[in-house]
Structure formats: structure tokens, C-alpha cells
Structure 1
Amino acid sequence: MTNKSPKLFLRQNCIIDCTKHWKPGTFLEIGAGTGLMTQMFLSRGFSGYCYDLSPESRAILKNRLNEFTAQVKILTNLTIATNKNFNYLFAFEVLEHIEDDLNALQYWSQFIQSNGKIIVSVPAHNNKFSKVDELVGHVRRYERDDLFNLLSKAGYQNIKIINYGYPLTEFSRYISTRLLKNDNSAQLIPIAERNLRSSYSRPTVISNYLSKIPENIFAPFKYIQRLFYKFYFGDGLVAVAEKI
């Protein structure tokens, strides 16, 4: 990928805000993608395992995390983590790709200890589901109550949910939708393949557009979005909870 998208930039900063008081501990990350979030936690003294289905993503992870080999293990199979007792579970932009999200979440949760913390991010607002979602293999978006109920059913408590991204993601989503309005490539690629590619591949038109925008232009919006965390305007949700 080229530059971060506005949504990725703001999601990363929201996650920093949500976890700034967390003590370093052990983690299991599901769907680690290109390792941007993994790297962020490792640089703060965390250690653990990260897993991704895609061989391409695992190769990117290996390269990005090369300096942290003493702190992190990249998994090819989750069974390797059996009998571990992690402090934290991370799943960023993963649940929306899975038909049975509750079953998946319950399975992952067996790897973390009681009172361990989870942090997840998902796209927000069912009525925003569009071609952009189809292109990256989403099967749903989430309402805040949907995500709360999902975490509660999976055995979590003290659930806190933030709606991030507003107002920048409203504008960037409008631009993306316009740029991709005639892109029918999703129809030619099985959804499983779209899921595998979603973390490291963008439509060419989006990559070209982002390559022309300096990332630091988004910086003021990481502060502005904080004013709207309690509202329900932004394009994504970040949830933090504690395992019962």
C-alpha cells in the first residue's frame, strides 16, 4: 500500500486513545494484516502472537516486524496458541468479514485469561453498506448496539464503544464511493479472495488518489474526532471490553 487512508489514520489514533493507559502485556492479534497495529503495540513494550490467513500478509508482517523478533511470533495456525493465556486480544477490521462473527469471537476468546481485555474495530452503520464494502469482502457493517450485544453474548463485560472518524471519514467515504462507482471488479473475485487481499491491496484508483495526498494533512483530525467520540456520526467503531 501507499499512504494510509484517512480512516486508517484516524482508527490508529483512536486505538491509541483507547489503550494509552494499558500496561504492556501479552497479546494475540487476529487478522494482523500488514502489522501496522502490531508494530504500534510492540513499540510500547507489548509482546505476543499475531495471526493472518493470508500468506502475502504474513510475508509483509515478517518484513515489518523484523526488529521485534524477540517479542512477537507470526502464526500460520491458531492452534499453535492453544493453552496460552494472553492478557489482550486484538481484532482490527476482521469481524465484518466473517459470516458467523459470534462463533469466531467465542473461539478466539478461549486464548485470553479471565479479566483479560479485548479491543476490536469494525465499520459502522448498516445503511452505509456499499460497493466499497463489497470490494474488500465485507459481509456487514455494525450498529453500536449490534457490537455491544455481540461482545456481551461472547462473554465480555464493561463494554465501551467509540464512534471514530467524524467528520473526515464522511468526506473520504464520499470520495471513495465516487471513485469506485463504475468498478465492478468485486464480481470477478470470490469473496474469500477479497478477504485475503483486503489488508494489503487497494483498488488502483484509490492508491493513485492517496499517493497524491500527504499524510500529515490528516493530523488535525485526530484531535477533532475526539470531540465526536460520544456521538454516532463517524464511519467506524472501536470497542474495548473485559472478559468475564
Structure 2
Amino acid sequence: MADITGDQRIQSEVLEGLATAVNHRRWFVELALPYLGDNPIEIGSGLGDYALEWSAHLPRFTATEADPDRLVQLKERLADHPSIDVRQMLLPSTEGGDYSAAVSYNVLEHIEDHVGALRSMADLVRPGGRVIIIVPAFMFAMSQVDIATGHVRRYTKKTMRAAMTEAGLTIEKMHYANALGLIGYYGATSIFKMAPKEGPMVKVYDSLVLPVTKAAERLVKPPFGQSVFAVARTPL
């Protein structure tokens, strides 16, 4: 039981730390916006940071969470936002839907049956809609922080493409994102054995390094990155 409590504590610290990385979040919000349509569902909304950002641009939005305790927090935080529906969801599932898109950031790496999870996301989306994914990149960067927060794997474009193709999705866009972030994450977690939680390092990275990285990657997509960003279409 102690290990489980520790994992939840570390996971919460990481989520809270990432919540302070405002520039990072807004960059990743922008990546998905053109593909969300009018009524998307997010798988694994966590504390609701992305849901709040995306919903400001959309008529309807559905936020979901698998963890019961975090679901309670999510409902409380989003209670004053009538355009956002909040519900529990655990993938893989057999549920169907008619959402315009299914978006999931940093969730798929937690799921053993990731192909089944992608199929489930596709089933939630209307024909020709999108499945939008961000996952952590490169197995060499798998650290004790990854393991403690429940990561089963990290991805490359090749392994992400294989999983999406096996799930019956047609890939529309895929690239690495945040090249300098990968270097920083590897150094912090694998060399210095630190967790990316709230503090001066996250603030310096987000305010000084991130804007430079974002501007450079608008011009040239890097050959590596901290994340893989992928957009795929569901069958017509």
C-alpha cells in the first residue's frame, strides 16, 4: 500500500508542477485546436487544465477521468463551466459515441493495451473524426519518475504509427515536439534523479527555454522531442 500511496503522491506532484508550466500548456493546446471540431471528448483530463483552455474555444466539451478521487476534484473545479460535461471513463471500453474528436495527452503510455485504447477512442468519435494524441517520447528517457507515475512505455514516431495503424486509424499528422524539453527531462530525471514538480526549474524552463523551442519548431520540425504529437482519422 505504501508504494501505491507514493505513486499517487508523485503523480499529483508532477501534475501540479506541469500546471504551472503555462507556456508549455498553451503550446500543446494550440497543437490540437484545429482538429477538435465542435464537440470533442478528452480522455484523462487530470486536473482539467487542458479542458479549461480548449473549452474556451468550443461550444461543448467533455472531460473524463478514470481515477475516482481525481474525478471528484475535476468535477469540483469545472462545476462553474456549464459547457463542459465531466464523467468517468476507463479505457479500453466498449462504449460508442458521436464526438467530433477524442483527444488524450500523456495517457496512452499508462495503458497496457494501448491499441485497444486507441480503438476505444475511435469508437467514441463519429466517422471521419479525429483521434489526437500526445505521448512521451523515446524509451532511453524512461526514468524512475516514469515508472513511479505508471508509465508502461515511451514512444517513437515509428511505434506510435504502428499502434494507430493496428487500431484501424489513418494517420494525418505526426511529429516530435519540444526537443529541448527532452534534453532537460533526461538530465533532470535520469542524471540528477529529480521529479519535474513545481519550482524554480519549471518556471525558468517555461518562461525562457520553452518560447525559443516553440518558435524554432514552427519553422523546422525536430528529429527528436520530449513528446510525439499525432492526429489520425477514424474510418468513414
Shorter-chain-normalised TM-score: which range?
Answer: 0.7 to 0.9
Structure 2 residue matching 1:75: 3-state secondary structure:
strand
- Distance apart, 1:14 and its partner CA: 3.7
Cα distance in 1, alignment partners of residues 20 and 213 from structure 2: 13
- Distance apart, 1:114 and its partner CA: 0.6
Please tell me whether residue 163 in structure 1 is matched to residue 176 in structure 2.
yes
Partner of 1:36: 49
Please tell me whether residue 53 in structure 1 is matched to residue 66 in structure 2.
yes
Alpha-carbon spacing, 1:145–1:23, altered in 2? closer, same or farther (3 Å): closer
Alpha-carbon spacing, 1:176–1:115, altered in 2? closer, same or farther (3 Å): same
Whether the 8 Å contact between 1:35 and 1:61 is mirrored in structure 2 is: yes
- Distance apart, 1:56 and its partner CA: 3.1
Q: For 2:217, give the aligned amino acid.
A: Q
Structure 2 residue matching 1:25: 3-state secondary structure:
coil
| Residues 181-237 of structure 1: per-residue CA shift (max 9 Å, x gap) | 7xxxxxxxxxxxxxxxxxxxxx5x8434547648433333321233442x3221110
Please tell me whether residue 225 in structure 1 is matched to residue 178 in structure 2.
no
Cα distance in 2, alignment partners of residues 234 and 26 from structure 1: 29
Unpaired stretches in structure 2, ≥5 consecutive residues: 1-15
Cα distance in 2, alignment partners of residues 163 and 150 from structure 1: 16
Q: For 1:233, give the aligned amino acid.
A: F
Partner of 1:136: 149
Cα distance in 1, alignment partners of residues 30 and 113 from structure 2: 28
Cα distance in 1, alignment partners of residues 129 and 144 from structure 2: 36
Structure 1 residue matching 2:40: 3-state secondary structure:
strand
Cα distance in 2, alignment partners of residues 159 and 84 from structure 1: 21
Give the counterpart of 1:76 among 82, 85, 88.
88
- Distance apart, 1:4 and its partner CA: 4.1
Higher RCO, Cα 8 Å, sep 6+: 1
Alignment of 1:1-244 (within 5 A): 1-2=16-17, 4=19, 9-10=23-24, 12-19=26-33, 21-22=34-35, 24-68=37-81, 70-77=82-89, 82-180=95-193, 203=195, 206-210=197-201, 213=204, 215-217=206-208, 218-229=210-221, 231-244=222-235
Stretch moving more, 106-115 or 70-79? 70-79
| Residues 87-146 of structure 1: per-residue CA shift (max 9 Å, x gap) | 110111111111111112212321111101110111111222222311211111111111
Cα distance in 1, alignment partners of residues 215 and 55 from structure 2: 24
| Residues 56-83 of structure 1: per-residue CA shift (max 9 Å, x gap) | 3223322432332x21211124699945
Q: For 2:88, give the aligned amino acid.
A: T
Cα distance in 1, alignment partners of residues 202 and 223 from structure 2: 30
Q: For 1:43, give the aligned amino acid.
A: A
Whether the 8 Å contact between 1:167 and 1:225 is mirrored in structure 2 is: no
Alpha-carbon spacing, 1:83–1:233, altered in 2? closer, same or farther (3 Å): closer
- Distance apart, 1:240 and its partner CA: 0.6
Whether the 8 Å contact between 2:24 and 2:206 is mirrored in structure 1 is: no
Whether the 8 Å contact between 2:96 and 2:124 is mirrored in structure 1 is: yes
- Provide the identity percentage: 22
Partner of 2:4: none
| Residues 11-36 of structure 1: per-residue CA shift (max 9 Å, x gap) | 641441343x3474111211111111
- Distance apart, 1:84 and its partner CA: 3.0
**Normalising by structure 2, what TM-score?**
0.79
Unpaired stretches in structure 1, ≥5 consecutive residues: 182-202
